[in-house]
Amino acid sequence: MAGYRALAAVGRSVVALLNRRFVEEIPDGADRRPTAVLAGPLDFEKVDTPGAVIAYPAVSVYCYRLSIDRETRAGWGAVSAQDGLPRLPLRMHMMLAAWDHTVDYELEWLGLAARTLESESVLTGPTLDPSGAWEPGDTVQVVSDELAMDSLSEAFQAMTTDYRLCLPYLARVVRIDGAAQPVAEQVTTVGSRLSGIPR
């Protein structure tokens, strides 16, 4: 899989997928059509202001946490021990939020985003942003995530924006490959018996 650009490439891939489906589902002559964007905490403070990343109507994709994928780490560790290439399997925890002037529009945009990710939960081949320099056969699965209300509240308390209705998603497994390391050579010990020395 990719090097250090993999995380950003997955974020771009999710945004690109949502924007393609928004264009297909909502015709050009429609009253409103959202734009999906990658956003961070500072972007939530400048919503719908001049030059803002989030401009109404929009669906923001915010990666609020990264974690180790413990299910696959041991397996990749064994592979790395054989070929000397370090591999770190990660999970991207994301929150999708809709931004518009009315709640009913926001619910529509979240519903469309949820339907898109549920229908096309596997990113592979041309649906993966090329900046990730992916290998043939690389895939990333985007699935709904479980996020307790307490954890959700804590996430918003860490930001200056007010609480917003959002959908939690998880992108797995995003594998970061390191630089190849030399594999230690096996050492063989050969014993010899000297003749003429009493035992």
Range with lowest mean pLDDT among 21-25, 58-62, 176-180: 176-180
Is residue 194 in some structural domain? no
Is residue 13 in some structural domain? yes
Question: Per-residue pLDDT tens for 67-79?
Answer: 999 888 566 555 6
| pLDDT class of 116 with cuts at 50, 70, 90 | very high
Is residue 182 in some structural domain? no
How many Å apart are CA 50 and CA 63, to the nearest integer? 24
Is residue 195 in some structural domain? no
Which has the higher per-residue pLDDT, 30 or 193?
30
Query: What CATH number did the domain enclosing 93 receive?
Result: 3.30.2000
Mean pLDDT of 7-25: 97
Is residue 193 in some structural domain? no
Task: Indicate the number of domains in the chain.
Answer: 1
Is residue 184 in some structural domain? no
Q: Give me the pLDDT at residue 3, please.
A: 80
Is residue 144 in some structural domain? yes
Share of the chain above pLDDT 70, in %: 76
Q: Domain residues for 120?
A: 6-177
Is residue 196 in some structural domain? no
Edge-first strand order for the sheet with 87-99 is: 35-38, 58-68, 87-99, 166-177, 139-144, 122-124
